[in-house]
Amino acid sequence: MENLENKKTLHEKLFDKNDASNIVLFDAEDNAIELEQIGLVPFGDEFFAILRPLDEDEGAFVFVLDKDCKKSIHYVEDEKLANEILDLFNKN
């Protein structure tokens, strides 16, 4: 999913502790999805973003930040890894 909403890269927005504004991502069909920033978790040599869709009643989702492309993140499909990231976040 790519962030095309403003001048800051997606990574800059996620790492900016003073910027808690919502993030708009676009899926493969170019549908905009607005997400609330919940947290950013370092794990191993990667960073994971926890985001919650504004228009859904479901909980938060975990995304891994793409190291090579500062404009994209990828949904973590591995449920065990996602739960581990959420547990780490909740401990802090």
Q: Can you give the residue ranges of every domain in the chain?
A: 2-91
> Please, is 61 exposed, middle or buried when counting C-beta atoms within 10 Å of its C-beta (0-12, 13-18, 19+)?
middle
Confidence (pLDDT) at 1: 54
Confidence (pLDDT) at 82: 97
Confidence (pLDDT) at 78: 96
Question: Mean pLDDT across the chain, nearest whole number?
Answer: 87
**DSSP 8-state secondary structure symbol assigned to residue 88:** H
Confidence (pLDDT) at 72: 82
pTM equals 0.84
Quick: pLDDT tens for 43-87: 999 999 999 999 877 789 999 998 876 778 999 999 999 999 999
Q: How far apart are CA 48 and CA 87, in angstroms?
A: 12
